[in-house]
Structure 1
């Protein structure tokens, strides 16, 4: 049976071979419409097309395997990052191994006898730069996702980030427009660049407003306890609770119910990430949607570019506020 070519895919999708190369190389954003990109992927899948990596002069090792290091396997966000990375990897004849390093602060141990012999590269999602030192020491190219681009200690060849600061600005703009002026920030207790960015953006946006901060582990019950303590402090009660993620927001909602308060009639609550949990709670959460699959895809594309001796462009992906029923104007004073 004749192996399908990029020309076959182009003909089936009704596009040029250059468009096929852009889409399957993960470089289509801003150049090709999402509908066209999906048509190219569908045609490639139907034909069973796999790019000829040798012809593209990729600097591959022996395994065509990448390692994706994440802080946790229980968080849906990282499952979606993996899906985006693995889908693009598969289109290029690569596999992706998923490996957790607790809380993203590491250190991430070498999961193989020798990572350098077992892998061609590493993608680290939401990890501290110092947490991947051992893997970086194996001499593997590294792409960092959702991490500090100014931190050069990881030796990363590329960074792909989400516009986290803008996401928090969208949250605060939404709440300020509703009339809120007293806030509780239920912050992550995990030391991480992404949460530092959220805190800094919130503090900048709410300068002049009354803001109390409480910290919690990423656990609904721990978040409920932290919120309960903060909400029962003396002084005026916050009218809005801004949470660093949806898990913390679910905990805040539990705490408010224990106090006999209604969301959003008495207190508004916002999350971050737009996990499935955001629409499982009642009322459904106002939150920030992060394109998790896309950041995984762009991370894999950046790694493939590095392996091809190309210089990937740094990327910052936009995020969007999803306003739902957990936010409303504050009650009358």
Structure 2
């Protein structure tokens, strides 16, 4: 820039700019970004406002509005851990919907995992408008619920009366899809590598596996518990594959991390996946496409899951009833599953190194 040339500051985008771009009134912009538009602004116009706000980079004056309304426009998302890609995607979906409505989302990994979550603030009710908790129990959130904040539970018991709303994935259907896939491939000796975690979500999976296979003709089901890490899964899968009696032809794993450990155990025992043993996972993490062969798994729409949770919280804050929501899941067949061995030996696993 030549010396002495005048400098200009970026012009702050206003609600009038958003209104002009969306072809609506400023009042409509206020209603949409304040999530008060239902019954007053059409859905297409509301979407036009949100799109214009995103494209223009509009940021409302939250400090002034919060002072006026007595709200912080901030939600807390509580998760058991930050090490899971699944929870990162849940946060992405929640934050996307929140941003469209002038909300902020604070991500809080509970120091105790699925155990009791401490209040990370001097007073949660002073800092937050509501709480979304993923894969936690309502009693673990007593320190936050005690502040009288609306609570939306994800991946939790939909009958819990302490939640203002619940959003779940159809995990039971996902389990049934996996089992149908394995049975169609001729598998009759199946071992469930069950996550050794005391939570509603994994209890539901275990119960569905047992109930689905209880009456299945000719199917032998065994269960091997494992902590949620590759090393523990490797040990559990090795135990399942070398146990006395007929070797399982399929390992049904509660998540993709357990499945990765199961594949590793099979290779160390000199077994081929899927020719000697099929392996399935759950979640469809990036890991599922990184292992070889790629993993047959159940795809969970994690981002939409988080988005639905945020929408449920905003409905609760607006006084609108929001019943239990269940999102569908999808089986993704890949190379880790194949037909059951035609002449599967009784116990042909060969010991290998750890």
TM range (shorter): 0.7 to 0.9
Output one character per residue of 1:200-233: Cα deviation in whole Å (capped at 9) or x when no partner. 1111222231011011111101110111112211
2:140 paired residue among 128, 131, 134:
131
Point out where structure 2 has 5 or more consecutive residues left out of the alignment. 1-12, 344-354
Task: Give yes or no for contact 1:223–1:252 (8 Å, CA) kept in 2.
Answer: yes
| Correspondence 1:166-205 to 2 at 5 A | 166-205=173-212
Q: Does 1:97 align with 2:106?
A: yes
Q: Which moved further from structure 2: 94-103 or 301-310?
A: 94-103
Deviation at 1:104, TM superposition (A): 4.5
Q: Residue 318 of structure 1 aligns with which residue?
A: 328
Deviation at 1:2, TM superposition (A): 4.5
| Rounded Cα–Cα distance in structure 1 between residues aligned with 2:47 and 2:333 | 28
Q: Does 1:222 align with 2:222?
A: no
Q: Does 1:3 align with 2:15?
A: yes
1:248 paired residue among 232, 250, 258:
258
Q: Residue 171 of structure 2 aligns with which residue?
A: 164
Q: Residue 111 of structure 1 aligns with which residue?
A: 120
| Correspondence 1:42-61 to 2 at 5 A | 42-49=51-58, 61=70
Deviation at 1:7, TM superposition (A): 5.2
Deviation at 1:332, TM superposition (A): 1.0
Point out where structure 1 has 5 or more consecutive residues left out of the alignment. none
Q: Cα distance 1:262–1:309, how it changes in 2: closer, same or farther (>3 A)?
A: same
Task: Give yes or no for contact 2:281–2:297 (8 Å, CA) kept in 1.
Answer: yes
Deviation at 1:129, TM superposition (A): 2.1
Task: Give yes or no for contact 1:60–1:307 (8 Å, CA) kept in 2.
Answer: no
Q: Cα distance 1:237–1:109, how it changes in 2: closer, same or farther (>3 A)?
A: same
SS of the equivalent of 2:147 reads coil
Q: Does 1:72 align with 2:72?
A: no
| Rounded Cα–Cα distance in structure 1 between residues aligned with 2:156 and 2:14 | 44
Deviation at 1:103, TM superposition (A): 6.7
| Rounded Cα–Cα distance in structure 1 between residues aligned with 2:160 and 2:176 | 23
Q: Residue 153 of structure 2 aligns with which residue?
A: 144
| Rounded Cα–Cα distance in structure 2 between residues aligned with 1:88 and 1:144 | 17
| Rounded Cα–Cα distance in structure 2 between residues aligned with 1:39 and 1:293 | 22
Structure 1 length-normalised TM: 0.87
| Rounded Cα–Cα distance in structure 1 between residues aligned with 2:78 and 2:148 | 16
Structure 2 length-normalised TM: 0.82
CA RMSD of aligned residues (A): 3.0
| Rounded Cα–Cα distance in structure 1 between residues aligned with 2:48 and 2:277 | 45
Q: Residue 81 of structure 1 aligns with which residue?
A: 90
Output one character per residue of 1:244-266: Cα deviation in whole Å (capped at 9) or x when no partner. 00000001011111111010010
Task: Give yes or no for contact 2:82–2:109 (8 Å, CA) kept in 1.
Answer: yes
Task: Give yes or no for contact 2:22–2:48 (8 Å, CA) kept in 1.
Answer: no
SS of the equivalent of 1:324 reads coil
Task: Give yes or no for contact 1:61–1:120 (8 Å, CA) kept in 2.
Answer: no
Q: Residue 7 of structure 2 aligns with which residue?
A: none
| Count of residues in Structure 1 that have an aligned counterpart in Structure 2 | 318
Q: Cα distance 1:288–1:39, how it changes in 2: closer, same or farther (>3 A)?
A: farther
Output one character per residue of 1:144-178: Cα deviation in whole Å (capped at 9) or x when no partner. 001001233xx110001100000111101111111
SS of the equivalent of 1:179 reads coil
Task: Give yes or no for contact 1:225–1:255 (8 Å, CA) kept in 2.
Answer: yes
1:264 paired residue among 262, 274, 282:
274
Deviation at 1:48, TM superposition (A): 3.4
Deviation at 1:8, TM superposition (A): 4.4
Q: Cα distance 1:258–1:128, how it changes in 2: closer, same or farther (>3 A)?
A: same
- Of structures 1 and 2, the larger Rg is shown by 2
